[in-house]
């Protein structure tokens, strides 16, 4: 329970509306894992799906009820529509499926825009209102707490406020606790939306909730504005997942409510978990985390030095809207072509290296970074390579785990159209000279495979290391010499993982294979340094 208790609801619909996002397809196990993470964060309500309409959702509720889901904070919610027009509520199969889901709370969706009632539902306002009233009352009589999602409310209210309000009244007459005003098409802007919310609260006195889509890029802002106008129930999805442009992002909404409006809408200790939970939920959804997401993105507190670097060092709070620790995130200073001493000093501190006492080394590193960046290197996304550079300058690096003698890559496009990539490496590792050959589906893949084949018998930790991501950027050659576009410099970024952490390395060369080789080597040297240290 949060300090605000039932007086303010954080209502998560990642599993229902969030699952509408193009590309998301949760298994039932995924859904259970998502629910547990959301519960650990302390949200008040978790909308699990639409039983009866979606077979996976029906199974999710069945397995949850059978004991596979034990919630500490949240109440589980089933979503569904009202009885059909002209059908008795107790005979409506979908309403019965809602009861069968055995959740303490049900959200009912209902039309509140007269055009939708008449053109999509093909009934009239009176019957629509009866459908709402009957269904809410039936579920309340069966012991459920009921919230009403008033679909297309803002468009409907603008078109015909009487109809929109009559739908809300019918729900409350039936016994609904909260009427949720939905910006289903996502066309609202905050000032207008806040006015409407305040108007509805003033006219009805009902407890009002808000549900926003992000089609104007204002879903978070609209949600916050609604709260400022009197809403006490916010519907969000993790990372803003949802149909079209998505929904209001749970993490930004909660971040704003807590740190900007001072509303303790989550248990106090949960705020520092926002970043971790956001990334874990992205993992389950199989969507790369948005690096630039507010509050929780890996770049959300990343500063490209330049203008502010020296000042940031002295006074970080002058340059961040909140302390990143609050939400479990980190401040990072990006080392770029504008890099100076101040930003490298800060960077060193991130790596646990105190450069203030090594002014000469710092001078050398600054010079080296500038030279490299002039040649196309970029360390802003390659912390691991920068760390190696710093440590090399400070003579803090051990012997490298292996030394290359030579490699050869052969790529054949055969007469029959078959393409074969083969690489041979000759390396010295653990006192031995090793030669290994492997094939791959491209030159870099083949080289990586050959290197692994050569090293694995001697470096057992290599087994856990995998390539997560591989990025290539062609940098134009100098303007005068660019006779051919292929005459350019190639920058390769490699993200590696050992199952526990990720690190990124960079390689730059006129030859894409050599650039990739450099980044691959840095990745292994960086891992080796950690292995040595943890043993030492």
Under the binding rule (CB under 8 A), the answer on residue 54 touching its own copies is: yes
Q: Report the residue number, 252 or 271, with the smaller CB distance to its own copies.
A: 252
Nearer to its own copies, 172 or 385 (CB): 385
| Residue from the set 175, 230, 400, 442 that interacts with its own copies by CB under 8 A | 442
Q: Does 375 bind its own copies (CB under 8 A)?
A: no
Six token digits for residue 432: 């031995």
CB of 87 to its own copies, least distance (A): 18
CB 131 within 8 A of CB 82: yes
Other C-beta atoms closer than 10 Å to the C-beta of 235 total: 30
Q: Name the burial class of residue 361, with classes exposed (0-12), middle (13-18) and buried (19+) by CB atoms within 10 angstroms of its CB.
A: middle
The CA R_g of the chain, rounded to the nearest whole Å, is 29
Residue linked to tokens 């459908």: 131
Quote the least distance from Cβ 73 to its own copies, whole Å: 24
367 touches its own copies (CB under 8 A):
no
Neighbour-count burial for 263-281, b at 16+ CB within 10 Å, e otherwise:
bebbbeebbebbbbbbbbb
**Rounded Cα gap, residues 468 and 202, in angstroms:** 53
Minimum Å distance from CB 307 to its own copies? 8
Binding to its own copies by residue 436, rule CB under 8 A?
no
Please say which residue, 45 or 301, places its beta carbon nearer to its own copies.
301
Q: List the one residue from 72, 203, 367, 408 that touches its own copies (CB under 8 A).
A: 408
Least distance in angstroms from the C-beta of 460 to its own copies: 19
Residue 434 as a binder of its own copies (CB under 8 A): the answer is no
Residue written as tokens 């259970």? 32
Nearest to its own copies of 178, 425 (CB atom): 425
- In degrees and rounded to multiples of 5, residue 315 shows phi and psi of -140, 70
| C-alpha span between 232 and 2 (Å, rounded) | 14
Site for its own copies in 446-505 (CB under 8 A): 448, 466-476, 479, 483-488, 490, 494-495
Binding mask 503-522 for its own copies (x = CB under 8 A): ------xxxxxx-xx-----
CB 249 within 8 A of CB 228: no
**Closer residue to its own copies, CB minimum distance, 390 or 513:** 513
As measured in angstroms, the least distance from the Cβ of 196 to its own copies is 14
Q: Which of 4, 33, 53, 158 binds its own copies (CB under 8 A)?
A: 53
Backbone dihedral angles phi then psi of residue 142, each to the nearest 5 degrees: -85, 10
Q: Pairing mode, if any, of strands 402-413 and 419-429?
A: antiparallel
Q: At what angle do helices 383-393 and 512-535 cross, to 10 degrees?
A: 70
Which of residues 203 and 408 has its CB atom nearest to its own copies in the complex?
A: 408
Interacting residues with its own copies between 103 and 142 (CB under 8 A): 113, 115-116, 119-120
Both tokens of residue 166? 């009559």
State which of positions 11-50 bind its own copies (CB under 8 A): 20-23, 25, 27-29
According to the binding rule CB under 8 A, does residue 62 interact with its own copies? no
User: Residues 66 to 95: which contact its own copies by CB under 8 A?
Assistant: 81
CB closer to its own copies, 4 vs 198? 198
- Residue 369 CA to residue 386 CA, distance in Å, equals 9
* Binding flag, residue 435, its own copies (CB under 8 A): no
Question: Which ranges of 379-511 would DSSP assign to H, the alpha helix?
Answer: 383-393, 443-455
Among positions 150-209, residues that touch its own copies (CB under 8 A) are: 152, 185-187, 189-191, 194
Cβ contacts of 534 within 8 Å, gap of 6 or more? none
Q: How many residues bind its own copies (CB under 8 A)?
A: 128
Q: Judged by CB, which is closer to its own copies: 37, or 488?
A: 488
State in angstroms the smallest separation of the CB of 454 from its own copies.
14
Helix spans in 217-291 (H): 219-228, 250-259, 274-285
Q: State the minimum distance, in angstroms, from the CB of residue 136 to its own copies.
A: 19
Backbone angles phi, psi at 143, to 5 degrees: 90, 10
- Taking the least distance from each CB to its own copies, the nearer of 161 and 477 is 477
Question: How far is Cα 385 from Cα 91, in angstroms, rounded to an integer?
Answer: 66
| Helices (runs of H) and strands (runs of E) counted in the chain | 17, 16
Least distance in angstroms from the C-beta of 205 to its own copies = 22
Binding mask 229-268 for its own copies (x = CB under 8 A): -----------x--xxxx--x--x--xx---xx-------
Using the structure block, give the residue that is written with the tokens 């300090």. Answer: 3
Q: Which of 357, 414, 533, 535 binds its own copies (CB under 8 A)?
A: 414
Cα–Cα distance, 491 to 509 (Å, whole number): 7
- Of residues 328-347, which lie at the interface with its own copies (CB under 8 A)? 334, 336-338
For its own copies, the binding residue among 4, 404, 456, 531 (CB under 8 A) is 404
Residues pairing with 151 in the sheet? 111
What x-and-dash track marks residues 291-310 binding its own copies by CB under 8 A? xxxxx-x-xxxxxx-xxx--
Q: Give the nearer residue to its own copies in terms of CB position, either 107 or 222.
A: 222
Question: Quick one: CA dihedral 155, 156, 159, 161, positive or negative?
Answer: negative
Label residue 118 exposed, middle or buried (CB < 10 Å: 0-12, 13-18, 19+): middle
Rule CB under 8 A: is residue 350 a binding residue for its own copies?
Answer: no
For its own copies, give the closer residue by CB, 103 or 184: 184
Return the number of the residue (419 or 430) whose C-beta is nearest its own copies: 419
């Amino acid at each position: 329970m949060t300090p605000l208790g039932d007086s303010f609801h954080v209502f998560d619909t990642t599993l229902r509306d969030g699952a509408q996002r193009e590309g998301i397809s949760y298994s039932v196990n995924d859904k259970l894992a998502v629910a547990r993470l959301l519960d650990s964060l302390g949200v008040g309500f978790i909308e699990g799906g639409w039983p009866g309409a979606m077979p996976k959702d029906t199974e999710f509720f069945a397995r949850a009820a059978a004991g596979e889901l034990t919630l500490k904070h949240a109440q589980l919610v089933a979503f569904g529509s009202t009885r059909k027009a002209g059908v008795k509520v107790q005979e409506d199969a979908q309403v019965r499926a809602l009861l069968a889901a055995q959740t303490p709370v049900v959200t009912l969706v209902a039309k509140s825009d007269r055009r939708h009632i008449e053109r999509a539902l093909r009934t009239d306002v009176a019957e629509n209102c009866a459908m709402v009233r009957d269904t809410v009352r039936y579920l309340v009589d069966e012991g459920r707490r009921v919230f009403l999602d008033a679909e297309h409310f803002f468009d409907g209210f603008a078109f015909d406020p009487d109809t929109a309000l009559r739908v809300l009244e019918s729900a409350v007459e039936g016994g609904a606790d909260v009427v949720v005003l939905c910006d289903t098409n996502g066309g609202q802007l905050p000032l207008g939306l806040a006015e409407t919310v305040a108007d509805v609260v003033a006219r009805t006195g009902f407890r009002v909730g808000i549900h926003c889509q992000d089609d104007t890029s204002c879903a978070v802002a609209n949600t916050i504005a609604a709260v400022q106008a009197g809403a006490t129930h916010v519907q969000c999805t993790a990372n803003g997942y949802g149909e079209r442009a998505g929904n209001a992002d749970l993490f930004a909404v909660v971040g704003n409510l807590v740190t900007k409006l001072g509303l303790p809408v989550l248990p106090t200790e949960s705020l520092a978990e926002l970043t971790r939970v956001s990334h874990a939920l992205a993992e389950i959804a199989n969507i790369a985390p948005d690096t630039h997401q507010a509050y929780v993105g890996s770049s959300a507190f990343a500063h490209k030095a330049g203008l502010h670097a020296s000042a940031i060092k002295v006074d970080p709070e002058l340059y961040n809207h909140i302390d990143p620790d609050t939400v479990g995130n980190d401040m990072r200073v990006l080392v770029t072509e504008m890099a100076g001493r101040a930003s490298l000093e800060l960077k060193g501190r991130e790596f646990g290296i105190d450069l203030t006492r090594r002014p000469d080394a710092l001078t050398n590193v600054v010079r080296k970074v500038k030279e490299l960046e002039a040649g196309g290197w970029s360390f802003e996304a390659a912390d691991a390579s920068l760390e190696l550079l710093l440590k090399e300058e400070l003579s803090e690096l051990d012997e490298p785990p292996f030394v290359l003698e030579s490699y050869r890559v052969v790529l054949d496009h055969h007469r029959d159209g078959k393409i074969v990539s083969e690489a041979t490496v000759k390396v010295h590792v653990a006192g031995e000279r090793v030669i290994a050959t492997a094939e791959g589906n491209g030159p870099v893949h083949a080289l990586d495979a050959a290197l692994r084949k050569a090293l694995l018998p001697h470096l057992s930790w290599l087994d856990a290391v995998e390539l997560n991501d591989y990025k290539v950027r062609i940098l134009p050659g100098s303007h005068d010499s660019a006779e051919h576009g292929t005459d350019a410099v190639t920058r390769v970024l490699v993200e590696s993982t050992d199952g526990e952490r990720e690190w990124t390395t960079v390689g730059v060369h006129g030859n894409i294979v050599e650039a990739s080789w450099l980044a691959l080597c840095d990745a292994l040297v960086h891992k080796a340094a950690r292995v040595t240290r943890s043993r030492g």
